[in-house]
Amino acid sequence: MLTPTAPGSRTAQTQLDVLVLGMHYPPEHTGNAPYTAGMVAALADAGHRVRVVTGYPHYPQWAVHDGYTGLRRHEADGPARVTRVRHPVPSAPSALRRAAMDATFTAHAAAIGRQGARRPDVVVAVSPVLLTVVAGLRWKKRGRTALGVVTQDLYSRAVTETGIASAGAGQAAAKLEGWLLRQADGVAVVHEQFRDGLAGLGVDRDRVSVIRNWAHVDSAHGERAATRRSLGWGDDEVVVLHAGNMGLKQGLENVVDTARLADERGANVRFVLLGDGNQRTALEERGAGVGRLQFRDPLPGDHFSDALAAADVLLVNEAPTVAEMSVPSKLTSYFTAGRPVVAASWERSAASAEIRRSGGGVRVDPGSPQDLLDAVRGLAGDPARIDALATAGRAYAQQHLGAAAAHRDYQRWVEGLAASRASRGRTS
């Protein structure tokens, strides 16, 4: 039986061959890419041989990055070997087009051979994309190769809650998701609330581990006033910043409409949408002429951290149809930034659970510009509460969202899958 090594150690007797399958990987800097890369780095640092099969970088712009051509390319990420396979990237990602993209990536990933390497001891499939699990099943073999799945979102809930497909399609997706996850030897989820969702899909609770996402953005380095000036923010205005993807599940029409309401009320508030995504153009058209609304392109590295820290309020906004599909990854960065958070999200959502658990923000119902504006103005008028929320959020990030603990947990999870592969050979 394999014995887990200590984080950072390199013991030849316990060295594993690990294959990681997932569409998203750096240089993508949002979504699940940073977490997949962190897991890979932790496994490689523990002395395991890691190979990654991933897609061409395209998120959140939904356009392949410049310089990525051809059908396949090979790279290195430290000691890890990275193979990229081509897949279509729809500029307007409907359900059908996304399914075609996912299926193409899965087919290409499954076609990757060992190329002289040993059969992997463990295959880790990262969902989304759910169909990546199909590629992982190609390698699963009792006593030889274990299959683990990292679930960042509940796929079937996403299909239903974002409205990209019919209710019937959502039911079919739930059946597919449940069947695929039941084939895995273990499933790692990023939040405790996902346990119930997977149980509803028929996944045994004893196969589910919780490994939290971590704060992968450093603390701010720049001077706050200087950062505000560089971004065009006034010293006396309340800046509400939403940073990250502008997609369907974010429902950012609510933010545009709140900024319009702030115009009408003469509120000294600026709403900033920082980032990119497939809904940005439509949002810009909707917000044309709104004075208290600003769009900004993604910022690199330290500039992003500085922008978070320079805002007065950090915003999580979810579409009214979204409740249980995901945990907004931006919350880890928000809490680290030490600014109060306002979450426009339903009470039962994972985002709301994080707000309650951290004590770092307030919640309002989604899709209500009046409620959102009132919450922001209420915080702006209570500096003591702002400081208390900011302090609580930062403390929560330091205590519960550290990278070291998550990396250790991924290492132990993968090593545990390898150790138990002989006894976990059943496939349903």
CA atoms within 13 A on the CB side of 67: 2
pLDDT of residue 147 exceeding 60: yes
Q: What is the pLDDT of residue 166?
A: 67
Give the class (CATH, top level) of 224-400. alpha beta
Instruction: Reduce the DSSP state of residue 303 to 3 states and report it.
Output: helix
Q: Cis omega before residue 128 (within 30°)?
A: yes
- If you ran DSSP here, which 8-state letter would residue 179 be given? H
Beta bridge partners of 189: 151, 210
Residues 212-267: tens digit of each pLDDT: 999 877 766 778 999 999 999 999 999 999 999 998 889 999 999 999 999 999 99
Q: Strands 313-317 and 341-344: what pairing?
A: parallel
- Segment 1-19 shows an average pLDDT of 57
Residues 350-369: tens digit of each pLDDT: 899 999 999 999 999 999 99
pLDDT of residue 13 exceeding 60: no
Residues 251 and 367: beta-carbon distance below 8 Å: yes
CATH topology of domain 12-214+402-419: Rossmann fold (3.40.50)
Residues 195 and 189: beta-carbon distance below 8 Å: yes
Instruction: Enumerate the CATH 3.40.50.2000 domain ranges in the chain, comma separated.
Output: 12-214+402-419, 224-400
- If you ran DSSP here, which 8-state letter would residue 141 be given? B
279-314: b (≥16 Cβ within 10 Å) or e: bbeebeeebeebebbbbeebbeeeebbbbbbbbbbb
Residues 121-131: tens digit of each pLDDT: 999 999 888 89
71 or 113: which leads in pLDDT: 71
Q: Phi and psi for 398 in degrees, rounded to 5?
A: -65, -35
Q: What is the pLDDT of residue 158?
A: 67
Mean pLDDT of the chain: 89
What's the alpha-carbon Rg for the chain, to the nearest Å? 22
Q: What is the pLDDT of residue 128?
A: 85
